[in-house]
Amino acid sequence: MSLIGIVITLIVVGVLLWLINSYIPMNSTIKQILNVVVVIVVILWLLTIFGVIGSGSGISVG
C-alpha cells in the first residue's frame, strides 16, 4: 500500500469516527470505548503495514 493510500485511509477512518461521534446519540462511555477500540485497531494496522509487527503473530488484521 502506498503512502497516499495510507493517508487517505486514515482520513476516511477519522471522518467516519467524527461523524459517528457527532451525529449518533450514544452514552459518553460507549463513545470513549469506541474511540479507544478504533485507535488501537488503526495503530495495529499501521504497525503491520510498516512491518513492526509480523502478520504471523496469530492475529489477522486484514
- Cell 509487527, residue located: 53
In angstroms, the CA 14 to CA 33 distance is 15
pLDDT band for 60, please (50, 70, 90 cuts).
Answer: low
**Is a pLDDT exceeding 60 seen at residue 62?**
no
Cell of 39: 485507535
Checking phi first, is residue 58 left (phi over 0); if not, alpha (psi -120 to 50) or beta?
A: left
In angstroms, the CA 32 to CA 55 distance is 28
Task: Give the model's pLDDT for residue 51.
Answer: 84
* pLDDT tens for each residue of 2-45: 899 999 999 999 999 999 999 999 999 999 999 999 999 999 99
Task: Give the model's pLDDT for residue 42.
Answer: 95
**Is a pLDDT exceeding 60 seen at residue 57?**
no
Domain range summary for the chain, segments of one domain joined by +: 3-49
